[in-house]
Amino acid sequence: MTLFGLDCAKKKERELERKLRANDREHNLSFRYAVIPAISSLSWFTTVVPLVLVLSVTAAKDATDDINRHRSDNQVNNRKVTVLMDGELRSEKWMSVQVGDIIKLENNQFVTADLLLLSSSEPLNLVYIETAELDGETNLKVKQALTVTGDMGDKIHSLAAFNGEVRCEPPNNRLDRFTGTLTNAGQKYSLDNNKILLRGCTLRNTEWCFGLVLFGGPETKLMQNCGKTTFKRTSIDRLMNVLVLCIFGFLAFMCMILAIGNRIWEQRWGSEFTAFLPRQDGVDTPFSSFLTFWSYVIILNTVVPISLYVSVEVIRLGNSFYIDWDRKMYHARSDTPAKARTTTLNEELGQIKYIFSDKTGTLTQNIMIFNKCSINGKCYGDVFDYTGQRLEINEHTETVDWSFNPLADHQFSFHDHSLVEAVKLENVEVHSFFRTLALCHTVMAEEKTEGELLYQAQSPDEGALVTAARNFGFVFRSRTPESVTIVEMGKQRSYELLAILDFNNVRKRMSVIVRSPEGKLCLYCKGADTMVYERLDQSCTKLMDVTTEHLNEYAGEGLRTLALAYKDLDEEYFSRWKQRHHEASTALEDREDKLDLLYEEIEKDLVLLGATAIEDKLQDGVPQTIEQLAKADIKIWVLTGDKQETAENIGYSCNMLREEMNDIFIVSANNPDDVRQELRNVLSTMKPGAEEEAIFMPERTLGNKPKVVRDEEVNGEYGLVINGHSLAYALEHSMELLFLRTACLCKTVICCRVTPLQKAQVVELVKKYKQAVTLAIGDGANDVSMIKAAHIGVGISGQEGMQAVLSSDYSFAQFRFLERLLLVHGRWSYLRMCKFLRYFFYKNFTFTFVHFWYAFFCGFSAQTVYDEWFITLYNLVYTALPVLGMSLFDQDVNDMWSFQHPSLYVPGQLNQYFSKTAFFKCALHSVYSSVVLFFIPYAAMYDTVRDDGRDIADYQSFALLAQTCLVITVCIQLCLDMSYWTAVNQFFVWGSLAMYFAVTFSMYSNGTHITFPASFPFIGTARNSLNQPNVWLTILLTSILCVLPVVAYRFLLIQLRPTINDKVMFKVRQAKATPPLPARRARMRRTSSRRSGYAFSHAQGYGDLVTSNHFLRRPAITRSTAFTPLGRTTGFSPMGRSAGYSPTGNALNSRPQEVEVTSLQMYRMVRDSAF
């Protein structure tokens, strides 16, 4: 069997197991007993009809999911690919491909398996691939084949005769690393990641290529990364499971009492009825009691209604559609709607206590603009007036005229004219600065049409820096693996590219070594200031101090910073270093470590050039959203890779850190003891005299589950900023509780310089020890682990690809939409689900407990109170639609009031709407209602006659009266629970009552009885009973007695202990009764946003790729003059404005300003002193 076939077979086995387990629900067990005649007192249809209906709905839903899943599987497995077999090309299915096959891919085809690239249609054996499905990045990447295999081209006979042997690493999940060797004709060739095409990629801008299959099926790196996805369940789901088990126990208890009652009754009075009801042979009193137990299990199983889980799924599905359809969460500029990628977590959105957010691309726009720079100790970018006062830059500030540079990108704006003058005056340091930006990068340039430059940058930062150099006269034009061509002030110059010392997350810098046209060797370096400063020559100390002041100033403004440096190299030394570099790059073991040592050796004694500052604007509405969420008592933790100064400034700009806070603590120690001491100091400052040991909640669960840390109160508001080094120690087992307790006392926590793994660890720590619901939100591939770790994962579709979205539970385009997702959709979903569960348990408990009371009056004979058809239709027809309507449309207040009163969100965090206590109250309410519903009709029908003297004191009349009272009572109770009425709700409630009476009169008619005499024995009961005044009086009295205590209790509760919901709903009612005064339109003011600091990507750079043997898709267009009009870059917007940008600083599609003012004045008019 092939690897693909083996994968499919294993998948089918797992799928079969999942299906069997998914439908093996415990509460279905009781329906198996219903088919045993000896213990079932119900007709077959009473059980079969609801069971078949519910299972049909479930089966239809599962079948739809399975069909879609299998269609997707078949679409992948049956894709066609061209395979070289027996010296000819054949079309085969993906599932037939085996390791060792040579396959041909064409443009826009998916890569079938992990392949070794052999040859390509492009010059120099290049291929362009898109890895959006693999790592979420949308920019094209380039791979290149070995020369020895590339020479085969598309010659079938050469490819068929290829007899190479590949030795490589075993299957693993490292997408950025590959180590192996190719042996061909006795010669060994080193293989790395730049020669491998991974499954999940798409071939772009390449006519064809050939590849050798290295890994297939489950051994591919894509499948190796598809680890087990944690199945997320809501807290309500977990609570329901516990309650269902308790209900089963209570059901067994009730059945045991009734079985004992049956035995006592049979022993004392059973013999008196044997003349009328002879005993069956072999059934004595003990065995009769045993059979009675199981009979009552069947009768009373409605305490766990079979339709509960199906109804819950339908409600969740409906509330998910509301999110998908919400136009106020639609981002018009990017044409991105909000999307509920799961339908099982909606109510959890109404219980969020902790939000963990990425910064770059989540809170900020991830659209980079070259804003300022420091060159040779002088700061550029600010604008001053004639008196030397700094001016605020806005849309009216005069921009630099780029007419001197025909190749400039005219969408790029800069306001400091002095920098342009320095460039024109040929300032040596300024020219070296921009020459570094034009040479030190891995950007790819393409000029498809004359005068149009297209840049493909690895990150928006690089695109912004190269574009800045372009506008200031140093235009990156083209590159090959051996050269970089730039245009310096109108003159085209080609630099020999000798080496790229690539970027990674540990080095946090990159360098290039080039030889100028004059033959001068030079190393250019850019990177994080901390990394570059450690490698500077001692002669740069004074310049370093001045530049540091500029860097701190930039960080204070929230700008992303990089330091630039260079070094002249000796030819003889470089030749020796180059030889060692070649040996290290071809090593099979410890290749990266050896290269890092060589990089460290040559990257020293650098000369500082200056620093760059890139602006990453805040997304629209971020400060307002965070302020609203904070008012909802949601704690927001920012987990970012930025430096500490930038992280602090972002906290202020987003209103997470505020000047009015009591204190903001910085934890930045570099060893465990100091970190522990700093955390102790922070804790003692917030809570003087507090013990270091955490206070745990009382244990309520069995097993080895972690204890829950109790929430603590603190006077005042505090913030905490901790860097990645300190966080690594704080997350150790011996210190994690101290860190958690300290952090949870703070209003805001910012973790800076963190890795993706640390992000997930922080989330897991809070989940482990806090009884709270967590949400993680991000937009990049480095946020995936955090998104998967949280209870709720939210992905933002941004500049960093779709990986975060693909791993998320909910997705949208802007952070500001999180406010509506939680405060509106989340709160409504939670409120609706809780109301549904309370009402559903109430109506079913009430229905069931009437049977329990009736058992004491029927000799514990397992006789039902109601008509069998009523039992069948009660949950499916008479009471299903009204509660479904409430669960889909109900809302206590509308979205405007939800935004004005974020504190409405707090009850969800505290589980106030549905908990074990609420369930116990619901059960007590059901017991009371069942007592009234049984004993009042029983007393009213005892020895009762009609107006004409005919007797109606019979079982059938009593059953009809009891079930009529039940239906009316539960409908009235639903009306009391409903806060928001629509035409649909009205139709469902009154339609259900009308349906009940229509079905009752139809089933109890003469015609139905004549047609089905055995199934409809209640002939004429409705006609004889429901036309009597005393019957309707009994119905009225019963209904009033059932609901009157509820009304009285709720009235007293509102008057004596009003909740936040009661207070707001009171304001809403008064606002509706009192029309508001005309509102004066608020003055619109632009809010300046602070900026975010630089954080490196966690992706590997392209250095090895662009320095490989050859590099170029096709020759660049060359001219005698390098100036062409209106060049244009891609991948970022120099204007820096995201979709939905508003000059006022408010997000588009948010609430209008005049509405807010009106509501505020409305509140001032109607506020009551009692509230």
Per-residue pLDDT reduced to its tens digit, 222-271: 777 654 456 778 888 888 888 888 998 999 999 999 999 988 888 887 66
Q: Name the β-bridge partners of 92.
A: 81
pLDDT, tens only, 367-399: 788 999 999 999 998 888 777 778 877 777 888
Annotated binding-site residues for ATP read 358-360, 462, 503, 526, 560, 640-642, 753, 759, 782-783
The span from the CA of 1018 to the CA of 997, in Å, is 14
What are the pLDDT digits (tens) for 634-672? 999 999 877 676 677 778 878 788 878 889 999 988 889
**Phi and psi angles of residue 624, each rounded to the nearest 5 degrees, phi first:** -65, -40
CA torsion, points 690, 692, 698, 703, in degrees to nearest 10? 170
Per-residue pLDDT band at 484 (split at 50, 70, 90):
very high
pLDDT band at 17 (very low <50, low <70, confident <90, very high): very low
* Contacts for 1084 with CB less than 8 Å, ≥ 6 apart: 1143, 1144, 1153
Tell me the pLDDT of the chain averaged across its residues. 80
pLDDT tens string 584-630: 887 777 888 888 899 999 999 999 999 999 887 788 889 899 999 99
Residue 1120: the pLDDT is 37
CB 358 within 8 A of CB 529: no
**62 among known catalytic residues:** no
Please tell me the predicted confidence (pLDDT) of residue 951: 67
- What are phi and psi for residue 1100, nearest 5 degrees? -75, 150
Query: Is residue 513 pLDDT above 90, yes or no?
Result: yes
Beta partners for 515?
496, 521
Closest CA to 895 of 980, 1000, 799: 980
Instruction: Specify the pLDDT at position 799.
Output: 58
Task: Give residue 460's pLDDT.
Answer: 73
- We find that the CATH architecture of domain 345-355+628-647+655-815 is 3-Layer(aba) Sandwich (3.40)
Instruction: Report the percentage of the chain scoring pLDDT > 90.
Output: 35
pTM above 0.85, yes or no: no
Binding-site residues from annotation: 358-360, 462, 503, 526, 560, 640-642, 753, 759, 779, 782-783
Q: Which of the four pLDDT bands, split at 50, 70 and 90, describes residue 32?
A: very low
pLDDT higher than threshold 90 for residue 932:
yes
Q: What is the DSSP string of 172-235?
A: ---TT---EEEEETTEEEEE-GGGEE-TT-EEES-SEEEEEEEE-GGGSHHHHH--PPPPP--H
- Angle (nearest 5°) at CA 30 between 29 and 35: 105
At residue 7 the predicted structure's pLDDT band, cuts being 50, 70 and 90, is very low
Angle, in degrees to the nearest 10, between helices 307-325 and 880-889: 30
Q: What's the mean pLDDT in 572-579?
A: 91
Using CA atoms, how far apart are residues 493 and 423, in angstroms rounded to an integer? 17
Q: Which fold has domain 79-225?
A: 2.70.150
Per-residue confidence (pLDDT) for residue 76, from 0 to 100: 66
**Sheet strands side by side (includes 491-501):** 378-380, 364-375, 607-618, 560-568, 521-527, 509-515, 491-501, 483-488, 474-480
* φ, ψ dihedrals at 55, nearest 5°: -65, -30
What pLDDT, on a 0 to 100 scale, did the predictor assign at position 105? 93
Helices (H), 367-522: 417-424, 428-439, 460-471
Q: Which residue has the tokens 């970018």?
A: 381
Least-confidence region, from 195-204, 274-283, 440-449, 1117-1126: 1117-1126
Which ranges in the chain are annotated with CATH 2.70.150.10? 79-225
Residues of the chain with CATH 3.40.50.1000: 345-355+628-647+655-815
Of residues 7, 114, 358, 502, which has the active-site annotation?
Answer: 358
Contact 786, 756 (CB under 8 A): yes
User: How is residue 445 annotated by DSSP?
Assistant: E
Cβ atoms 723, 696 nearer than 8 A:
no
Hey, which residues does 373 pair with through a beta bridge? 380, 612
**How would residue 71 be classed by pLDDT, with cut points 50, 70 and 90?**
low
What is the DSSP-derived secondary structure letter of residue 824? I
CATH class of 364-616+1091-1106: alpha beta
CB 159 within 8 A of CB 92: no
The three-state secondary structure class of 452 is: coil
Give the list of residues 6+ apart from residue 246 with CB closer than 8 angstroms, or none: none
Domain with CATH 3.40.1110.10 in the chain: 364-616+1091-1106
The CA distance from 454 to 1127, in Å, is 8
Q: Enter the tokens of residue 907.
A: 């009850």
Residue stretches of the annotated binding site for Mg(2+): 358, 360, 779, 783
